[in-house]
Chains A and B, each alone.
Chain A
Amino acid sequence: MRPFEYTRADRLEHAAQLSEAQEAMAIAGGTNLLDLMKLQVETPANLVDINPLGMGRIEDTDDSGLRIGALATNTATAVHQRVRADYPVLSRAILAGATQQLRNKATTGGNLCQRTRCYYFTNIDHPCNKREPGSGCGAIDGIARLHAVLGTSPQCIATYPGDMAVAMAALDAKVEIANAEGASRTVPVREFHRLPGDTPWRDNVLEDGEIITAVTLPAPVGGTQI
């Protein structure tokens, strides 16, 4: 791992301000980020620990939906009584991925922000437009099995690896996002991730200094979902 400054954020605005800086990254569970930092794929100069911000609650919304805090772990979400009863596809999607050890640490916001990636992205000996803009794509003329078929660009054919976001998209979930000025906005999960296009290094619509605060699910539709 490259050296970095570690800062614990005590307020949301503080966290957003810190992460607005160049080469700063927010860390929650760390299961994807630390893995990539060990490989020197991610080399943040500043690491902003957002865990002290709370944001781990899962609570009913006024319209019978559910608000899942950005720092609620994947385990907390998957085993939550209401998720199991009303949004089983979400429990199933989470339980189908990773391992219990990883799900115990991985968070809602972090899971959505896990890097769209392929094995050329995680190997710094190969060119990758996502890791190093303009360096080329090792995958397109390399071993391309299991890479994207739809939504590709001449710059990148990596796929988004998450299962949780797929279930959230099916449920018409929305992502709550806050910025350094204290403003917030809401983006449907379906519109949160970006196709590679000409900017494959941008996986999602988050701007510098923006932090996910929660994901909200609308009232359950009922019936059998799996």
Chain B
Amino acid sequence: MAITINGQEHDLSGDPRTTLLDYLRDDLRLTGTKKGCDHGQCGACTVLVNGMRINSCLTLAVMHDGDSITTIEGLGSLGSPSTLQKAFVEHDGYQCGFCTPGQICSATAMMAEIRAGWPSDASEELEGPIGATSEEIRERMSGNLCRCGAYANILAAIGEVAEEELS
């Protein structure tokens, strides 16, 4: 069994109880992905599986044979940050930074979802173009909690990228 993490193939073996989150952090030492609540409520563990954002704490690593996972380490680096990573720095979109990797992974997928025209609970119409309004971004990012309450700057960072990339 094999799993691809940030473009690199890894062997999948070990205790079937291992969640994808624990596999990333403990087995591969990719500690950018954070364990917050470990119950799918806070979003700190958000990663992309074949491009879709999920809570890595609520899925078993063994169930991802053949999947391609992207973590915060795969989105950019210190020398070459992604557009969203740069925007979070520029807008000071964090305080302690614990929720930030999850926020950025989540927002990365959110851009693709809006581009694909997927509606949200905040969308007035189920069909038709989706505007990247602050109401839309707030609803779509509601699976990522920030205990420091840095939401205003998180929204500003994501809003700026959404305006550049989606309008």
Contact = CB atoms under 8 A, between A and B. Distances in A.
Interface string A16-47: 00000000000101110011001000000001
A102 B126 contact: no
A95 B40 contact: no
B151 to A, nearest CB: 15
A96 interface: yes
A164 to B, nearest CB: 13
B17 A1 contact: yes
A114 interface: no
A11 interface: no
B43 A96 contact: no
A75 interface: yes
Interface in B9-61: 15-17, 19, 38-40, 43, 46, 52-55, 58-60
B127 A84 contact: yes
Interface residues of B, number: 33
Contacts of B92: none
Contacts of B55: 31, 101-102, 105
Interface residues of A, number: 33
Which of A1, A4, A99, A104 has the most CB atoms of chain B within a 10 A radius of its CB? Answer: A99
B113 interface: yes
Q: What is the interface of chain B mostly: helix, strand, loop, or mixed?
A: loop
A49 B39 contact: no
Interface stretch (A58-66, A85-93, A139-147): A85-93
Contact of A38 (B39, B59, B109, B116): B39
Contact of B60 (A6, A81, A100): A6
B127 A31 contact: no
B104 interface: no
Contacts of B120: 95, 100
A3 B39 contact: no
A47 B60 CA distance: 11
Contact of B16 (A6, A88, A95, A105): A6
A123 interface: no
Contacts of A78: 118-119
Given A34-B19, A100-B110, A6 B54 contact: no
A99 B142 contact: yes
Contact of A100 (B38, B59, B116, B143): B143
Contacts of B106: 100-101
Interface in B66-124: 106, 109-110, 113, 116, 118-121, 123
Interface of A: 1, 3-6, 27, 29-31, 34-35, 38, 47, 49, 51, 75, 78-79, 81, 84-85, 88, 91-92, 95-96, 98-102, 104-105
Interface of B: 15-17, 19, 38-40, 43, 46, 52-55, 58-60, 62-63, 106, 109-110, 113, 116, 118-121, 123, 126-127, 140, 142-143
30 contacts: A3-B15, A3-B17, A5-B16, A27-B60, A30-B58, A30-B59, A30-B63, A31-B58, A34-B58, A35-B40, A38-B38, A49-B63, A78-B118, A79-B118, A79-B119, A81-B127, A84-B126, A84-B127, A85-B126, A91-B126, A96-B121, A99-B143, A100-B106, A100-B109, A100-B140, A101-B40, A101-B53, A102-B40, A104-B53, A104-B54
